[in-house]
Copies of this chain bind each other. A is one copy, B any other.
Amino acid sequence: MTIGLIGVGLIGGSMALKLKEKNFAQKIIGFDKSEVHLLMAKDLNIIDEITTFENLVQDSDLIIIALPVEATKVVLPEVLDRISDKTVVMDVGSTKQEITNIVEQHPNRKNFVASHPMWGTENSGPKAATSEAFSNRAAVICNHEDSYDFAVELVKQVYENLEMNILYMDADKHDVHTAYISHISHITSYALANTVLEKEREEDTIFQLASSGFSSTVRLAKSHPEMWVPIFKQNKENVLDVLNEHISQLKKFKSALEKENFDFLEELIVNANRIRGILDK
């Protein structure tokens, strides 16, 4: 099978490496608006061939769109305009509602499968790609009833080859859950970094003292705006909803401290500790 990869960064690159390793893809052809990334991806054996957008759409059995979510909204309809009956198109974006909405009425909608492999790092670009990325993580396939069965089946095989756990979910539900589980973590981490940068003017001290705990909570603050501004934009309502809750949770800690109500503080922490039982099942 020939796979056409639109976007040869962290996610697309990592998928390509694994799908070639598994021999699921015989040939991977790539297109990216960044010439530098394309050359890098060829060098790193992420893609076998650099091609044009038109040739990629024409020559691929499966097209993977691995772009920031605002770009996906533009490129996906352009791809669907040009594909053959048998071509399957998938995206891998962190939001699903706006992306599925935009192609809802497209005559080739059923060739498209909306999905989201839940993995990422704070790094980006083809150099950050790794074939060990996705194992044992969740891959969500959304609104599968709007896609051809053969298309869903192929995308399922993609995620099986990436060794992911496949879940089916409505796009609107997906966007609610990812606001809780993923998007708010990034806002928290960005805000934490900005807090420390605002309060701690001695950068050397940050560097010298940074504990593993700090590094862990602030890791996501290294993530690029090119990816995250579009996600927050598309998932604005859900993210705002969770962000409001998060601010009110922080205010409980503030109130407990201000009033020296250490029993309440303990209660808040004991409640938070429940996350251990859920994550370490």
Binding site for B on A (CB under 8 A): 118-122, 137-138, 140, 165, 167, 177-178, 180-182, 184-200, 203, 205-225, 228-229, 232-233, 236, 239-247, 249-254, 257-258, 260, 262, 265-266, 268-276, 278-279, 281
Interchain CB contact under 8 A, A257 and B236: yes
Given contacts A119-B211, A181-B200, A233-B262, contact A192 B246 (CB under 8 A): yes
Interchain CB contact under 8 A, B177 and A279: no
Interchain CB contact under 8 A, A197 and B236: no
Interchain CB contact under 8 A, B225 and A240: no
Q: Which of B187, B213, B219, B274 is the one whose CB lies under 8 Å from A182?
A: B213
Interchain CB contact under 8 A, B212 and A240: no
**A245–B196 CA distance with the chains assembled, in angstroms:** 9
**A262–B217 CA distance with the chains assembled, in angstroms:** 24
Q: How far is the CB of A159 from chain B (nearest CB, A)?
A: 14
Q: How far is the CB of A182 from chain B (nearest CB, A)?
A: 5
Chain A, interface SS category? helix
Chain B residue with Cβ nearest A225: B269
Q: Which of B121, B220, B229 is the one whose CB lies under 8 Å from A217?
A: B220
Cross-chain pairs A/B with CB under 8 angstroms, 6 sampled: A122-B276, A180-B195, A181-B200, A221-B276, A223-B269, A225-B273
Chain B positions within 8 Å of A137 at CB level: 211-212
Chain B positions within 8 Å of A199 at CB level: 180, 241-242, 245
Q: Which of B222, B242, B247 is the one whose CB lies under 8 Å from A247?
A: B247
Q: Which of B205, B216, B229, B268 is the one whose CB lies under 8 Å from A269?
A: B229
**A229–B120 CA distance with the chains assembled, in angstroms:** 33
Interchain CB contact under 8 A, A222 and B276: yes
Given contacts A187-B253, A222-B279, 19 further A-B contacts (CB under 8 A): A178-B209, A180-B196, A181-B200, A182-B213, A184-B196, A188-B217, A188-B250, A189-B272, A190-B269, A195-B242, A195-B249, A196-B275, A198-B249, A213-B219, A221-B275, A222-B273, A232-B262, A236-B257, A236-B260
Interchain CB contact under 8 A, A257 and B232: yes
Q: How far is the CB of A280 from chain B (nearest CB, A)?
A: 8
Q: How far is the CB of A65 from chain B (nearest CB, A)?
A: 20
Q: How far is the CB of A75 from chain B (nearest CB, A)?
A: 20
Chain B positions within 8 Å of A279 at CB level: 206-207, 210, 215, 218, 222
Chain B positions within 8 Å of A244 at CB level: 254
Q: Which of B213, B221, B240, B260 is the one whose CB lies under 8 Å from A258?
A: B240
Given contacts A213-B186, A274-B197, contact A246 B257 (CB under 8 A): no
Q: Which of B181, B198, B224, B236 is the one whose CB lies under 8 Å from A210?
A: B181
Chain B positions within 8 Å of A276 at CB level: 122, 221-222
